Amino acid sequence: MNNLASYIDHTLLASNATEEQIDKLCAEAVKHSFCSVCVNSGYVAYAYDKVKDSAVKVCSVVGFPLGSMDIAAKAYEAKLAITNGATEIDMVVNVGWLKSGRWDLVELDIEALREICEGVVLKVIFETALLEDSDIEKLCEICTKFKVDFVKTSTGFSTRGASLEDVILMKSSIGNGVSIKASGGIRDRAKAIEMIDAGATRLGTSSGVAIVAGLESATEGY
């Protein structure tokens, strides 16, 4: 597969990420023609300034990594990120509401972000490590209902990242127009291709350079 770079959201979401590291992330993304750089919302404006003269997009995580804040707070974070240059938003589902059976609130959360992200790509992070198969199936139904752009496996900050089984289940559960982003633990070319073959059309990883070079990365976490 010769176009792996186009699948990659080149990612740096560590709480101690420095401007120098964001500089490197953006330079690598431009050099290798990755789809986007994915950063915390506080770095969106900074990253946008670094990649604005290239085809690389800026993706911001929202409600990251727990997803457990108030809906209005999550929506406002998304709005600010878009104002600062993000054209893709990766929001985290409130797993606590889901586990409490408050699917009404889960729907309101996703719907609010869909409204904020008019004209902007919206990805919904499930955190599959914490979910039952039935939860994943129901979330896929909700995301299809609200016409989100992507369902996404993981934050990379929980007990595990993406699994092949997650992607296969998502693929069988989403409706037309919804794509899959696999993220967390994708550190080499073989794993990346495995996820794409299973149905992922975007990969969230901090190992993008190693993946396009055909190497195995020792990067921890995302």
Which amino acids are annotated catalytic?
90, 152, 181
Here the tokens at position 58 are 């800026």
Here the tokens at position 12 are 């740096």
The CB density around residue 133, as the number of other CB atoms within 10 Å, is: 12
Distance CA 162, CA 184 (A): 5
Residue 187 host element (H or E): none
Note whether 15 and 41 are within 8 A (CB).
no
Question: HSE (CB half, 13 Å, CA atoms) of 77?
Answer: 22
